[in-house]
Amino acid sequence: MKDDLSIRKIQELFYELKVGDVMMKDVITVSSNMQMMELRAILRDNRISGTPVVDDGRLVGIISIEDFINWLAGGQQENRIAGKMNREVKTLYEDEPLVQAISIIEKFGYGRIPVINRRQKSLTGVITKGDIIEGLLKKMEVDYQEEEIHRYRASHFFEDIIADKTTLIFQYFMKGCDAMRNHDVDAVQNGGRVASRIRKTLRRLGIHPTVIRRTCIAIYEAEMNIILYAGAGEITVSIHKDEVNVKVKDSGPGIENIEEAMSPGFSTAPDWVRELGFGAGMGLINIRNCAQTFSIASEKGQGTVLNFGIPIGAA
């Protein structure tokens, strides 16, 4: 069963990794005007068995050690590479998946395939079987290490604690500055501190990067709302086994019409706030889009309470 899983993982990598990820970028090339005699030294010195032929930045053919041997055997007719190279070159684009490279190598038996940039049509690299194997091994090693770190840290916390239910809670208290009313440009510009601290904490806990990203984008938006609109606020993050839950409570003026506040583009922010790139009426929507559960409760003069949850298994 475990064997099946790892085979499937490699097959996924064939599709996930791109030719450009594993190809050799520093390519030795020759020009079609070059003498066949010179080719021998180039192949030998660079320990390669073939090389693309490039004229004025364009790929015009490919020449291999086999062509060189045939040339020797054939009595050294035709001294320039142009006469001996293979002009029917099979190429790959940088952004094609590895599986494409493998199928071409298998089908045609080529040792190396030149790689072309899709937009500029210029030669950007060469890919060989060796590059593919090396690329896969590197990727598997990196993935494995990341997985190990995640597993160690996360399990360390939740599995070592003996309880029916474990929840880790951390809180952040914000001395809101009512920036909007006080025209506090500095406070607006310096926002994002809580989100940044939470991001670091979640990282240390080994939470999956996608979950961290979604959580912190939502918290950042909530934090900016506190800075802009509220006198003070409090952000509480609870880590459960399967969910990150966030509660954001402020003592601001409250929202008169929640439906209106939740509609895209609705904002009460003045021009100076908008000029800094805030107050565009997208904050609450961003939060809702990042979260799986979302609720908002507010009353005019009573402050606002936001509650949202991001599933940990969702990544």
Partner 1 sequence: MKIKELIEKLKLKVRCGGSQLDREIARGYASDLMSDVMAHSREGDIWITLQVHLNIVAVACMTGIAAIVLINNREPEKETLEKAEAEGVPLLVSELPAFELIGRLYSLGIPGISEDAE
| Residue among 229, 215, 232, 228 at smallest CA distance from 277 | 228
Q: Which of 169, 280, 314, 315 binds partner 1 (CB under 8 A)?
A: 280
Q: In the numeric block, which tokens belong to residue 155?
A: 């399990």
What does the DSSP 8-state code read for residue 97?
B
Tell me the closest approach of the beta carbon of residue 276 to partner 1, in angstroms: 6
CA distances from 286 to 188, 199, 219, 282 (A): 18, 17, 10, 6
Total residues binding partner 1 (CB under 8 A): 30
In angstroms, how far is CA 310 from the centroid of its own chain?
20
Contact track, partner 1, 42-61, x by CB under 8 A: --------------------
Region of 61-69, 231-239, 244-252, 277-285 interacting with partner 1 (CB under 8 A): 277-285
Report, in angstroms and rounded to the nearest whole number, the Rg of the chain calculated over CA atoms: 30
Nearer to partner 1, 32 or 286 (CB): 286
Among 276, 293, 302, 315, binds partner 1 (CB under 8 A): 276
Cβ distance to partner 1 smaller for residue 36 or 273: 273
DSSP string across 131-183: HHHHHHHHHHHHHHHHHHHHHHHHHHHHHSS-SS---EEEEEEE----HHHHT
Distance CA 75, CA 158 (A): 75
Stretch that binds partner 1, among 3-11, 45-53, 98-106, 279-287 (CB under 8 A): 279-287
* Residue 135 in the binding site for partner 1 (CB under 8 A): no
What minimum distance in Å lies between the beta carbon of 280 and partner 1? Answer: 5
* Residues between 185 and 244 with contacts to partner 1, criterion CB under 8 A: 188-193, 195-196, 199, 209, 213, 216-217, 220-221, 224
Look at the block and give the residue holding tokens 């005007």. 33
**Which chain residues interact with partner 1 by CB under 8 A?**
95, 117-120, 188-193, 195-196, 199, 209, 213, 216-217, 220-221, 224, 276-278, 280, 282-283, 285-286, 289
